[in-house]
A and B are shown apart, each in its own frame.
Chain A
Amino acid sequence: MTNPLLEVKHLKKYFPLKGSRTDYLKAVDDVSFTVNQGEVLGIVGESGCGKSTMGKTLIQLFTPTEGEILLNGENITVLSSKKVRQKRREMQIIFQDPFASLNPRMKVFKIIEEPLVNFRIGTKEERKQRVYDVAKQVGLTHKQLERFPHEFSGGQRQRIGIARALVSNPKLIVADEPVSALDVSIQSQVLNIMKDLKKELNLTYIFISHDLSVVHHFCDRIGVMYLGKIVEIADKHELFNNPKHPYTKALLSALPKSHPLQEKERIVLKGDVPNPANPPSGCTFHTRCPNCMEICKVTTPVLKSISDKHEVSCLLYEELEERVL
C-alpha cells in the first residue's frame, strides 16, 4: 500500500455569524479522511453542505478553525503564511466557474505563467518553455496563448484553468466542480484530459461535485457530505452497490433514469436541507430521514468503519454492531 499523500484529521471550519460572538455557521464540522498518492477522492453533496469550503480549506485558502491537514506527513495548518504559499506549489485548485476565475485583462500566457512567477521558478526562458509544455498537455496552441480569456469558450477556459493549476507541478489538485458549468459534450472532453494528466503525472485529485454520475465515472473513492459532515465514505463500487446511510440511498435513488424503461424505486426526501447556521440536534439528517428513530434526535453519530474501506456515520449501524457483540 502507498502512503497517504493527504491526511485530514478532525478538520473544522466555522464562520462567525453576523452580530454574534457565540454563534457559528459550521461549514465543515469535524471531517477526517485520507487520500493516497495517485488516488481520486470524490466529494459529493447538495448545495450548502460545505464541500467547496472544505476544498478551499484543504489548500489553506481558508484557515481552519480546528484540526490538522497533513501533506506528506507535514502538518500544514501550523505553517507561517509565507511557508503556506510555498506549499501551494504542491497543491493547486481548479475552480468551477471558468468565466470568473480567469483575469479578463491578462493574456492566457500570463495567466498560466503567473504561478511560476509567484513561486520564483526558473528563468524567463525556462518559464516560457514550461508554459508551452503544459499548454500542449491540455490541448492549447501557441497562438491561443496570446489571446484573452473572453475569446475562449467555456470548455477551453477550463483547460486554461487546468493548465494554470498544473504549471507548478503539484502533487495534489482540488477540483471544485470543474465540469458543472459545461455542456455534456464538452464535459467529457475535459474529464478525459484530466484523466490523461492524472496518469501521465501521477496526480492525486480531490474531485468535488454534485453530479453523482460524473463522480462515479471519475473517482476511486467517494465521500458523501451532509451539513458539514462526511456521512459515508467508501470505495465507489461499494458506495453505489451497497449504500448504507439513508441519505446516500436517497441521493442515489434521486438520480434521473438513464433509460426511459428503467424501473426506479424512489426515496423522495421530505423537505429541504436545514439551515446550516442552525442545524438539527443529534444526527443532523434526522429531520429528513425515512428511518429516523427516537435516539437519532439526541445522539450525534460518528463515522465508524463497518467493513473494509467503508465508513458510515449513522446510528442504525452503530446499534447493529452492539447487538452483534
Chain B
Amino acid sequence: MGVNILEVKDLKIGFKHDKKEIAIVNGISLQLEKGKTLGIVGESGCGKSMTSLSLMGLLPSGVDWQNGDIYIDQIQINKNLKKDWRKIRGKKISMIFQEPMSSLNPVYKVGSQIVEMILSHESISKKEAHERAVDMIRLVGIPRPERVVNEYPHQLSGGMRQRVMIAMALACNPEILIADEPTTALDVTIQAQILELMKDLQEKLQMSIILITHDLGVVAEICERVIVMYAGEIVEEATVLNLFNHPLHPYTKGLINSLPNIDAEQEYLSSINGVVPAPADMPLGCRFFDRCEFATDKCQNKPSLFTTNIGTSVRCWIYENGELEGGM
C-alpha cells in the first residue's frame, strides 16, 4: 500500500430547508494514494461535485459543512480558517472545472490569470512568474505559448481553454489535482487529447488525481480505484478492474448495463426504473430501495459498507457476510 496523500473521514454536507437539516452528502470517507487516480462516479445530484468543492473549501453559501475531517499528508486541515484554505488551494490541491469558458475570467489575458495565481503562492518576480506561465502553457501542449499568454479566453477553442485551465491548476506544482468532469463539455477527439495529457502529466509530475465524472468510459481510461456514489452516499468502492468485471451493487450493475455497448448488438438497453429520490425525502433504509429489483424487507434498514472477499466495499445487504454469490 502506498501513502495516503489525502484522507477524508465521514464527510457530511447539507443545508437547512423548512427548519430541517437536509444532507446532500451523507458520510463520505475516502483515501487517495500518492501518484494514483481515484474516480468518483455518479449521476447528477448524487453529491459528487459538492464533495469535491468541500475538498477545496469552496462550498457555496447556504451549504453547511456538518461533519467530517480532511487530512492532507496526514495533517488535519482546519476547515474554518480561510487563511489556511488559501494556502492549500492551488499549492496543495488544485481543481479543474467542467466548463472551461465560465471558469476563466473573460476580461484578463490567460497569461495574467496564471501569473496572478503563481504570485499569490510564491515570492518570485513578475518576470519569473510570466516565464513560468509560458512554460506551463507549453507543457500542456499548446502551440506558440508566447503568443497564447497574451490572448483572451474567447480567442481560444474549448479544448485550448481546458488546457489553459490545466496549466493554471498545475502552475504551483500541486500534489493533488481534482478534475470535475474535465472532458464533459468537449468533443470526443478533444476528450482523447485531454485524457492523454492528464495521464502524461501525472507520470511526469507524480500527481495524485481525483477524477469526478459520470462517464464510465473515462473511468476505464485513467482511474485505478473507483467510488460509485448514489444519493449522497458511497454505494461501492472497488479497483477499476473489479468494478468492470464484478460490479456488485445493483445500482452499479444497472449503470454499467444501461450503457450502449459498441461491441454487442442489443435490441433494448436495460435501464434503472424510476428516478433518484429528492434530498428532502430520502428513504430511511437503503437509498436505492425504490429502484432496486432485488429489494427485500431487510432493505428497510440502512446497510453499511460491507467489505467483500475480492476487496470491493459495497453498501448492500446482499453482501452482508462478505461473500460473493454463485462464484462470480
A210, B217: Cα distance in complex, Å: 15
Q: Are A260 and B189 interface neighbours, CB within 8 A?
A: no
Q: Are B244 and A260 interface neighbours, CB within 8 A?
A: yes
Query: Which residues on B sit within 8 Å (CB–CB) of A269?
Result: 189, 193
Q: Are B269 and A217 interface neighbours, CB within 8 A?
A: yes
A256, B220: Cα distance in complex, Å: 8
Contact partner of B187 (CB less than 8 A), chosen from A184, A210, A266, is A210
A257, B192: Cα distance in complex, Å: 11
Tell me, rounded to whole Å, the shortest Cβ–Cβ distance linking A156 to chain B. 8
B13 close to A (CB within 8 Å): no
A56, B37: Cα distance in complex, Å: 42
Contact partner of B220 (CB less than 8 A), chosen from A153, A218, A262, is A262
A213, B254: Cα distance in complex, Å: 17
Tell me, rounded to whole Å, the shortest Cβ–Cβ distance linking B87 to chain A. 36
With CB as the reference atom, state the residue of chain B lying closest to A269.
Answer: B189
What sequence of 0s and 1s flags, for each residue 243-258 of chain A, a beta carbon within 8 Å of any chain B beta carbon? 0000000110111111
Other than the given A184-B255, A257-B217, 4 more pairs (CB < 8 A) read: A47-B187, A185-B272, A256-B221, A259-B244
Contact partner of A251 (CB less than 8 A), chosen from B189, B220, B268, B272, is B189
A136 close to B (CB within 8 Å): no
With CB as the reference atom, state the residue of chain A lying closest to B156.
Answer: A272
Tell me, rounded to whole Å, the shortest Cβ–Cβ distance linking B199 to chain A. 11
A187, B266: Cα distance in complex, Å: 15
Q: Are A188 and B269 interface neighbours, CB within 8 A?
A: yes
Query: Which residues on A sit within 8 Å (CB–CB) of B216?
Result: 184
What sequence of 0s and 1s flags, for each residue 205-217 of chain B, a beta carbon within 8 Å of any chain A beta carbon? 0000000001111
Contact partner of B262 (CB less than 8 A), chosen from A153, A183, A212, is A212
A and B contact pairs by CB, cutoff 8 A, 30 listed: A46-B187, A153-B275, A183-B43, A184-B43, A184-B255, A185-B43, A185-B258, A188-B258, A188-B271, A191-B260, A191-B269, A192-B268, A192-B269, A210-B188, A213-B261, A213-B262, A214-B260, A216-B260, A217-B260, A217-B261, A256-B191, A256-B192, A256-B195, A258-B220, A258-B259, A259-B220, A260-B240, A261-B241, A268-B193, A272-B157
Q: Are B221 and A268 interface neighbours, CB within 8 A?
A: no
Q: Are A155 and B261 interface neighbours, CB within 8 A?
A: no
Contact partner of B214 (CB less than 8 A), chosen from A184, A192, A210, A251, is A184
B301 close to A (CB within 8 Å): no
Contact partner of A155 (CB less than 8 A), chosen from B254, B255, B275, is B275
A257, B262: Cα distance in complex, Å: 10
Query: Which residues on A sit within 8 Å (CB–CB) of B220?
Result: 256-260, 262
Query: Which residues on A sit within 8 Å (CB–CB) of B18?
Result: none
A24 close to B (CB within 8 Å): no
The answer to whether A266 and B260 touch (CB under 8 A), given A47-B187, A188-B270, A255-B217, is no
The answer to whether A257 and B221 touch (CB under 8 A), given A188-B258, A216-B262, A240-B262, is yes
Tell me, rounded to whole Å, the shortest Cβ–Cβ distance linking A291 to chain B. 16
A150 close to B (CB within 8 Å): no
What sequence of 0s and 1s flags, for each residue 240-268 of chain B, a beta carbon within 8 Å of any chain A beta carbon? 11001000000000110011111100111
Q: Are A256 and B160 interface neighbours, CB within 8 A?
A: no
Q: Are B218 and A256 interface neighbours, CB within 8 A?
A: yes
What sequence of 0s and 1s flags, for each residue 190-217 of chain A, a beta carbon within 8 Å of any chain B beta carbon? 0110010000000000000010111011
Query: Which residues on A sit within 8 Å (CB–CB) of B195?
Result: 256
Q: Range of interface residues on chain B? A: 35 or more
The answer to whether A183 and B44 touch (CB under 8 A), given A188-B270, A189-B271, is yes
With CB as the reference atom, state the residue of chain B lying closest to A261.
Answer: B241
Q: Are A256 and B215 interface neighbours, CB within 8 A?
A: yes
Q: How many A-B residue pairs have CB under 8 A?
A: 109
A8 close to B (CB within 8 Å): no
What sequence of 0s and 1s flags, for each residue 137-169 of chain B, a beta carbon within 8 Å of any chain A beta carbon? 000000000000000000001111000000000
Q: Are A258 and B217 interface neighbours, CB within 8 A?
A: yes
Query: Which residues on A sit within 8 Å (CB–CB) of B240?
Result: 260
Query: Which residues on B sit within 8 Å (CB–CB) of A316?
Result: none
A46, B267: Cα distance in complex, Å: 26
A84 close to B (CB within 8 Å): no
Query: Which residues on A sit within 8 Å (CB–CB) of B260?
Result: 188, 191, 213-214, 216-218
Interface residues of A in 270-287 (CB under 8 A from B): 272-273
Q: Are B214 and A183 interface neighbours, CB within 8 A?
A: yes
Q: Are A254 and B214 interface neighbours, CB within 8 A?
A: no
A245, B218: Cα distance in complex, Å: 25
A189, B217: Cα distance in complex, Å: 20
Query: Which residues on B sit within 8 Å (CB–CB) of A213?
Result: 259-262
With CB as the reference atom, state the residue of chain B lying closest to A213.
Answer: B260
Q: Are B254 and A256 interface neighbours, CB within 8 A?
A: no
A260, B241: Cα distance in complex, Å: 6
A184, B244: Cα distance in complex, Å: 16
B323 close to A (CB within 8 Å): no
Tell me, rounded to whole Å, the shortest Cβ–Cβ distance linking A324 to chain B. 31
Query: Which residues on A sit within 8 Å (CB–CB) of B188?
Result: 46, 210, 212, 251, 254-255
A269, B189: Cα distance in complex, Å: 7
A112, B189: Cα distance in complex, Å: 38
What sequence of 0s and 1s flags, for each residue 192-234 of chain B, a beta carbon within 8 Å of any chain A beta carbon? 1101100000000000000000111110110000000000000
Query: Which residues on A sit within 8 Å (CB–CB) of B43?
Result: 183-186
Tell me, rounded to whole Å, the shortest Cβ–Cβ distance linking A181 to chain B. 10
Tell me, rounded to whole Å, the shortest Cβ–Cβ distance linking A280 to chain B. 15
With CB as the reference atom, state the residue of chain A lying closest to B217.
Answer: A256
Contact partner of B258 (CB less than 8 A), chosen from A187, A210, A260, is A187
What sequence of 0s and 1s flags, for each residue 212-244 of chain A, a beta carbon within 8 Å of any chain B beta carbon? 111011100000000000000000000010000
The 8 closest A-B pairs by CB, nearest first: A256-B217, A217-B260, A188-B269, A188-B271, A188-B258, A46-B187, A254-B192, A183-B43
With CB as the reference atom, state the residue of chain A lying closest to B269.
Answer: A188
Q: Are B262 and A185 interface neighbours, CB within 8 A?
A: no
Query: Which residues on B sit within 8 Å (CB–CB) of A218?
Result: 260
A210, B158: Cα distance in complex, Å: 16
B190 close to A (CB within 8 Å): yes
Query: Which residues on A sit within 8 Å (CB–CB) of B217?
Result: 255-258
